[in-house]
Chains A and B, each alone.
Chain A
Amino acid sequence: METFLGFARSDGSAGIRNHVAVIPSVACANGVVAAIARAVPQVVPLYHGHGCGRAVEIEMHTRVLANLGRNPNVAAALVVGLGCEMIKAEGLAAQIALAGKPVAHLEIQKLGGTRRATARGIEIVNGLLADAARQERRPLPLDRICLGLECGGSDAFSGLTANPAVGRVSDWLVDRGGTVILTEDTEMIGTSHILQRRACNPEVAGRIGSMVAEAEQLTHDLLGPLAAYVIAPGNMDGGMSSIQEKSLGCIVKSGSRPITQVVAYGQLPDAKGVVLMDGPGYDTESMTGLAAAGCQAILFTTGRGTPVGYPIVPVVKVASTSTLYRRMEDDMDIDAGVILEGTSLDAVGRTIAQLLARVLDGEPTKAEVNRQEGIVCMYTLHPAF
């Protein structure tokens, strides 16, 4: 069994980082979270992008926030609540504690405002950092790894170089018992019959069909005549001739192995292998879903070049061309553009897998070096009330 050096968590999962996360339950708590993070810079703040005037998304956002805290890269967590919000800090902390890790919570209103809440938070995170420091890396089997797949700022070469090379890495990990999660269901429109052929059973095939059909319907409902900009082959002048051709360029990231499960946005899969997650194409919201679904690392392909990372999950950037790689070398980890110069997809796939193995063992990605953390963007279906 091939191994990596990770942190064994008491729920059986394996972290590749050992973060103490400070999680606000609502945007109103961001200020206190920021004050704690300024005082104790070793913690990782997960700034919240929304107020609490949400109705339809409560179940989904509760699941996402709790599962971010449960992500194996999080050694311990402090949940900071305001007090009067819809999704309470106490409930989130209780759900995170189910993963068997140290968790605490506090409420700003109960403690009497920013200064007292910050002081209490600093005390708590110092204790949690001491808990985390007792964890040590040790060899763990690769089948504990769940890898998120993402593309953002794609160009005409993404589907020819970076995405199929990442597909080789997906096959590599799945063949070693691991899991990869493909999401961005708007990018699957037109290819459900192709994905369904890879389904491990008829039930999974049925769920693939309904997920992609709903994504297509939602696009028509919301955009009307503009849906063609999302669903049509994109830029016809760029050479795409059919919707299948365009979407294949995205789903090729998932490699060729059987699809074992379809999960909701931010839901933890219980199957290994290739998992599809119902989620948006917008990369930062998509990465939140992947992090909540338990991904310890994300492979992110880009053609235009985006520097974005994720607070608790190392993001490996794969550039689709050498021109982009050279232009944004501080942000790009891999140059898949060498495929256009004659290097094989298999060879670039091996290069990515080798880098990924080092990242699992602790080598920082460019996004980590650059502290590309920022706000947690969560998918929403409706306007706030």
Chain B
Amino acid sequence: MASQLIFVDDKDNVAVALRDFKKGEALQWPGGPALVAFTDIPCGHKVAIKDLAAQAPIVKYGEVIGRAKEAIRPGQWVHTHNLMPVEKE
């Protein structure tokens, strides 16, 4: 089965959408938990695969790429509207 999501490192709490998703669509990848798109997610953009509290580190490549501006739910689009850039982590 072709993946619809991809992530790079086991520690990551976001994955990358490999196609456009509409709110309510199932998000699937081999071995991954069943998730539903909580928002629309554009192709190439990130989606949370875990519950992220406000201020929680957002992890991709196993490294912190920013912090959550507000609580983010699994299946929710993650981008500049809800990710705060950080200088150093």
Contact = CB atoms under 8 A, between A and B. Distances in A.
Interface string A236-260: 1011011111001100100000000
B47 to A, nearest CB: 10
A156 interface: yes
A160 interface: yes
A252 to B, nearest CB: 6
A371 to B, nearest CB: 35
The SS class assigned to the B binding surface is loop
Contacts of B66: 241-242, 244-245
B46 A339 contact: no
Interface residues of A, number: 23
Contact of B6 (A193, A236, A245, A339): A339
A226 interface: no
A342 interface: yes
A69 interface: no
A194 B86 CA distance: 13
Interface in B59-89: 60-61, 63-66, 78-80, 83, 85-86, 88-89
B8 interface: yes
B65 A245 contact: yes
A241 B89 contact: no
A232 to B, nearest CB: 10
Given A193-B88, A342-B30, A241 B83 contact: yes
Interface in A137-154: none
Interface string A192-216: 0110000000000000000000000
B63 A194 contact: yes
A37 B45 CA distance: 50
A244 B30 CA distance: 27
B56 interface: no
A123 B85 CA distance: 62
Given A238-B44, A241-B66, A340-B2, A164 B80 contact: no
29 contacts: A159-B8, A159-B61, A160-B6, A160-B8, A160-B16, A164-B8, A191-B63, A193-B88, A193-B89, A236-B80, A238-B44, A239-B42, A241-B46, A241-B66, A241-B79, A242-B86, A244-B63, A244-B64, A244-B66, A244-B85, A245-B60, A248-B60, A248-B61, A252-B8, A252-B61, A341-B2, A342-B1, A342-B3, A345-B8
